[in-house]
Amino acid sequence: MNIAAALPAMARRQPDARAIVVPGGKFITYAELDRQSDAIAHGLANIGITRGKKAVLMVKPSLELFTLTFALFKAGIVPVMIDPGLGVKNVGPCLAAVEPDAFIGISAAHVARMIFGWAKGATLVTVGRRLLWGGHSLASLLSAGGGPALAPTRSDELAAILFTSGSTGVPKGAEYQHGHFVAQVEMIRELYDIRPGEIDLPTFPLFALFDPALGMTTIIPSMDASRPAKVNPELIFQAIAEHGVTNMFGSPALLDRVSRAALAKGVKLPTLTRVISAGAPVTSAILERVTQMLPESAEIHTPYGATEALPVATVSSRYLLGEARARTREGAGVCVGKPRQKVSIIGISDEPIARWSDALLAVPGEIGEIVVRGPSVTQGYYGRPDLTALAKIAHDDGGPVSHRMGDLGYFDADGRLWFCGRKSERVVTADGRLMHTVPTEEVMNAHADVKRTALVSAGGAPVLCVEIDPDRPRRDWAAVESELRALADQREITRGITAFLLHPSFPVDIRHNAKIFRAKLAEWAAIRR
């Protein structure tokens, strides 16, 4: 089983269809993507980079990123994907843990490699202009030629190392096997009824890599992928209209910005049939605005998962804006839908769990930690047995491990999964009461002047940080705070918040600009309180 096998199959099915289109209109067909990735795979073998070796890939979203990624998969070489947004202080330790055999990157990545001493001893490949570091060029690899280059990799063979964003702790290299990728592609295809010939606008690079396997044309957006919250909405509208985009992936932060602009200017996007959003819960306000710019038949989907396990569950905007909405505003949390893999809820614990037992299960309906086991669930972190022990639970049947999501949630009576926040961010009050972030915040987010809120513990007390909706008329903070206090006093779940603090702009993760860094907010709140 080789995840790249889908590419030659699609190249035979639709050889002249556009596979990838970059800003400016340059594109590559499926047949050419297949041929070029074969040539690069042969070229890598010629310089000693062969099956089982690890290659860091630091290339911006481009035609080259796709040809290189599929070349590595075809050859059985293990691409190591590290988000440059992690910052140099995190990239170094990640690379040190992996000890890559090759470093493939654009010129800027090689300059950083030289300055910070990354990947010493690795074979070097440059995409673009080589300066002082020597090594090989992508052009020289392409000249290798040769026929099909699909290695007979196994389902359980290491296919890639994908580093988590670090937004919920230390960046960790999730070990993806070829079977994990194949399972993901099939689940995504089935869940969203994606068909060859569709046109996708993926605003997160890693999601774009699914497109060739699904037979979609990828339109690479003109944007900084590490700053989705700063995207220029006009460029998104232009790309969708120009290429007839049918599918779009965007983080909640990107959809927030794009939908505000669409509402203000009356923009409609009639070709879109499907919008997929992940990275953090999507608020009802964002879903409503996105709905207004789509045709009536279109649907917004919010899959739930993580780098280590995706997709776990999925839910549509129709349910979230309908039946689920009132429950969310009453403090039920955020519904993430019915699981697509085996999901269990276990009692809350911060300790490692070596082996599965049904005694771990929480009482039905009780909030506990979400645990998932299934075909796309990764089995460990590369070079980090300590972190693997904290996140994985072995089973006596000798089969795949279960992954502890580090998220809290519960099942309702209809088997739907509800998300209640990160386990590490739960707040314990002075009298021992447990407060969960998402259910509390969603009650407070119902206030018309609020963009979003964040519950944190400051000095042992529950504090609510508040970010005001930029599109609302400015009001005196004292009046808004008084209304928030009154709102909090109406429900047991929000009662007991000791302070409400106005914050100009929450710190968020680099990857999606959507996950709130509550630990940083807690430090800020402790000073301000």
- pLDDT per residue over 362-404, tens digit each? 999 999 999 999 999 999 999 999 999 999 999 999 999 999 9
Per-residue model confidence (pLDDT) at position 167: 65
Element (H, E) at 1: none
Tokens of 352: 């490692």
Cα separation, 468 vs 454, in Å, equals 12
* Residue 99 Cα to chain centre, angstroms: 25
Cα separation, 491 vs 23, in Å, equals 50
Tokens of 325: 């909405």
Sign of CA dihedral 320, 516, 161, 418: negative
Indicate the DSSP class of residue 85. G
Q: What angle do CA 290, 295, 300 make, to 5 degrees?
A: 45
The whole model's pTM is what? Answer: 0.94
- Before 311, cis peptide (omega within 30)? yes
Element (H, E) at 200: strand 199-202
Tokens of 277: 């959003």
The CATH superfamily of 427-528 is ANL, C-terminal domain (3.30.300.30)
The answer to whether the CB of 472 falls within 8 A of the CB of 489 is no
Same fold for the pair 335-425 and 427-528 = no
Only one residue has tokens 């396990």, namely 309
- At the top level of CATH, which class does the domain 3-177 belong to? alpha beta
Only one residue has tokens 């007839």, namely 244
Domain coordinates in residue numbering, the chain = 3-177, 335-425, 427-528
Cα separation, 134 vs 114, in Å, equals 12
Q: Where are the alpha helices (H) located in 205-296, listed in sequence order?
A: 205-208, 211-214, 233-243, 252-265, 284-293
Buried b (16+ CB within 10 A) or exposed e, 37-76: bbbbbbbbbebebeeebbbbbbbbbbbbbbbbbbbbbbbb
- At the top level of CATH, which class does the domain 335-425 belong to? mainly beta
- What residue ranges of the chain have pLDDT lower than 70? 85, 167-169
Beta-carbon contacts of 310 under 8 Å, excluding residues fewer than 6 positions away, are: 184, 278, 303, 376
Residue ranges with strand state E in 182-230:
199-202, 217-219
Per-residue model confidence (pLDDT) at position 492: 93
Tokens of 146: 């040769």
